Homo-oligomer: A and B are copies of this chain.
Amino acid sequence: MTKKNTLGITVKKDKDFSEWYTQIIQKADLADYSSVSGCIVYKPNSYSIWEKIKEITDKKFKAVGIKNAYFPLFIPESLLQKEAKHIEGFAPEVAWVTHAGSSKLNERLAVRPTSETIMYDSYSKWIRSYNDLPLRINQWNNVVRWEFKHPTPFLRGREFLWNEGHTCFATKEEAEAEGKEIIDIYDDVCKNYLAMPSLIGKKSEKEKFAGAVYTISMEFIMPNSKSIQGPDFHHDGQNFSKPFEISYTDKEGNKQYVWQNTWAISTRMLGVLIAMHSDDKGLILPPKVASTQAVIIPIFFSDTKAKITKEAQKIKDRLQKTGISVHFDDREGYSPGWKFNEWEIKGIPVRIELGPRDLEKNEVVIVRRDTNEKQTLPLSALAKEVELILGQIQDNLYGRAEELLKKSVIQVDNLKEAKEQLNLQKIIFSPWCGDTGCEDKFKEMTGAKSLNSPLEQPKLKKDQKCFACKEKAKYWFYLGKSY
């Protein structure tokens, strides 16, 4: 009988993170390279996590009145160019369609890197009066950014999946208030489902979105202490509504331009999730986003097979009734030990072993994927116990990620210490001037860049100086090496 290669991961996460990450993607069957350079295949094991993220997030969007729509994949070149900073930011990475069939197109079409321009072209026709506001539309789609940097599955690629919300409000205040609502939703999804805390704050002028007034980002600290930007919210002010002529007549009959935001969460989060929780044995998934939460593995011999199978089926039914998604691995020709390994690599939170001796005692053996802890449980209380254990795993994973985040950040107020800490793979939290020139210089010197500035932050000392250039400090900022 042919068996798939299920050799474990051959390197340690804390020794060679990048090779460990590459192996886990392949061995947990999460993604595959494709014949299009920089584009991956999202295999069912990772796509099912994305489906969960979408489902959870989308429900929260709908609950606050956001509606989904779908806009064209293509954007005419002339439209993409309407907002100067936007095109400047995206032009180097645009994939251009120039031909259809055997005909050359009159105008090149961009494959959307983001949809502001095509959506705002419509919005300018749809919005007439204050009665048409707010307009809060979202789409779940694919976008293409032809980056030339080294691609990494999920974390950096030329095509990814995301949501892009694009909203219009009558006033600046209403638009800005949406920021809290959206970031709260993303934070809820990341914390309570993906089991990951983040640093939430405002990006620097240099690092904000191309075309935005300001950007609020969620920065995750990876186990290799590099930071990576997760979901974000951009307040665009009237930067787009003016060139795109998105205006309305107010109650007094005056013409006003709308105030806009855009916000997104992408499949990059799959990479962050995988890297954050998993270990040297393979993938570890938070139960709330695992499409299979428990696997039953029978240990049978020819004489006990029928009995064990029947009991396993009963356990499966009982767990499903409690709302636990469970798989019964009844494949023949694979040893229990081989199956243990396979489901361990694939990150199923709970393993239930069912053998003839356990069954005689009306017991089963349960193994937690996060701690490898083994316990024997009476059959009668199983569903309730498994539910409890799933909750404990969820909490434990969050706790570990939070500890990692805390350990990674260190407060420093001078350049010497900043350099030392960055060399020790830390994220620094420092009083900073926010100046783009200072940021460029610091990046050249250390390879680190600014992450963000917490929305609520400690007070700066009177006359506090910038940790890097000694000019006046304006805010506390997170800075570090990042993806």
A interface with B by C-beta (< 8 Å): 1-4, 32, 34-36, 39-44, 47-48, 50-51, 67-76, 79, 91-102, 108-109, 111, 118, 121-122, 125-126, 128-129, 131-132, 137, 141-142, 144, 146, 148, 159, 161, 249
Task: Specify the chain B residue showing the minimal Cβ separation from A109.
Answer: B36
A35-B121, A122-B34 as given contacts; A69 in contact with B44, CB under 8 Å: yes
> Which residues on the B side are within 8 Å of A141 (C-beta)?
142
Query: Which 7 A-B residue pairs are closest in the complex by CB-CB distance?
Result: A100-B146, A2-B129, A44-B67, A39-B72, A42-B70, A96-B99, A92-B101
List 18 additional A-B contacts (Cβ < 8 Å) besides A35-B121, A41-B69, A74-B144.
Answer: A34-B118, A34-B121, A36-B74, A41-B71, A42-B70, A42-B71, A44-B67, A44-B137, A47-B68, A47-B69, A48-B67, A72-B159, A94-B100, A94-B101, A95-B100, A98-B98, A98-B99, A142-B142
Quick one: which of B47, B79, B91 contacts A101, CB cutoff 8 A?
Answer: B91
- Complex Cα spacing A73 to B250, Å: 43
> Which residues on the B side are within 8 Å of A74 (C-beta)?
36, 39, 95, 144, 159
Report yes or no: A79 in contact with B35, Cβ–Cβ below 8 A.
yes
Quick one: which of B40, B75, B76, B122 contacts A72, CB cutoff 8 A?
Answer: B40
Report yes or no: B76 in contact with A35, Cβ–Cβ below 8 A.
yes
> Which residues on the B side are within 8 Å of A121 (C-beta)?
34-35
- Complex Cα spacing A159 to B142, Å: 13
- Complex Cα spacing A210 to B94, Å: 31
- Complex Cα spacing A2 to B126, Å: 14
Report yes or no: A36 in contact with B72, Cβ–Cβ below 8 A.
yes
> Which residues on the B side are within 8 Å of A144 (C-beta)?
73-74
Minimum CB–CB distance for A318 against chain B, Å: 20
Report yes or no: A122 in contact with B32, Cβ–Cβ below 8 A.
yes
> Which residues on the B side are within 8 Å of A111 (C-beta)?
73, 97, 111
Number of copies: 2
Quick one: which of B34, B44, B91, B102 contacts A68, CB cutoff 8 A?
Answer: B44
> Which residues on the B side are within 8 Å of A70 (C-beta)?
41-42, 47, 50, 142, 161
- Complex Cα spacing A161 to B71, Å: 11
- Complex Cα spacing A44 to B32, Å: 34
8 A–B pairs (Cβ distance < 8 Å), ordered by A: A3-B131, A4-B132, A34-B122, A41-B69, A50-B70, A91-B101, A92-B101, A101-B146
Report yes or no: B75 in contact with A36, Cβ–Cβ below 8 A.
yes
Report yes or no: B91 in contact with A128, Cβ–Cβ below 8 A.
no
- Complex Cα spacing A98 to B110, Å: 11
- Complex Cα spacing A142 to B74, Å: 12
- Complex Cα spacing A141 to B47, Å: 13
Report yes or no: A125 in contact with B47, Cβ–Cβ below 8 A.
no
Task: Specify the chain B residue showing the minimal Cβ separation from A128.
Answer: B2
Task: Specify the chain B residue showing the minimal Cβ separation from A157.
Answer: B72
> Which residues on the B side are within 8 Å of A148 (C-beta)?
101
Most buried by B among A43, A48, A51: A43
Minimum CB–CB distance for A210 against chain B, Å: 14
> Which residues on the B side are within 8 Å of A93 (C-beta)?
100-101
> Which residues on the B side are within 8 Å of A95 (C-beta)?
74, 97, 99-100, 109
- Complex Cα spacing A129 to B67, Å: 45
> Which residues on the B side are within 8 Å of A249 (C-beta)?
2
Minimum CB–CB distance for A224 against chain B, Å: 27
Report yes or no: B122 in contact with A41, Cβ–Cβ below 8 A.
yes
Minimum CB–CB distance for A442 against chain B, Å: 28
Quick one: which of B42, B101, B126 contacts A69, CB cutoff 8 A?
Answer: B42
Minimum CB–CB distance for A356 against chain B, Å: 26
> Which residues on the B side are within 8 Å of A40 (C-beta)?
72
Task: Specify the chain B residue showing the minimal Cβ separation from A138.
Answer: B44
Task: Specify the chain B residue showing the minimal Cβ separation from A148.
Answer: B101
A34-B118, A118-B34, A121-B34 as given contacts; A142 in contact with B73, CB under 8 Å: yes
- Complex Cα spacing A121 to B98, Å: 26
A100-B96, A111-B73, A142-B73 as given contacts; A32 in contact with B125, CB under 8 Å: yes
Minimum CB–CB distance for A10 against chain B, Å: 21
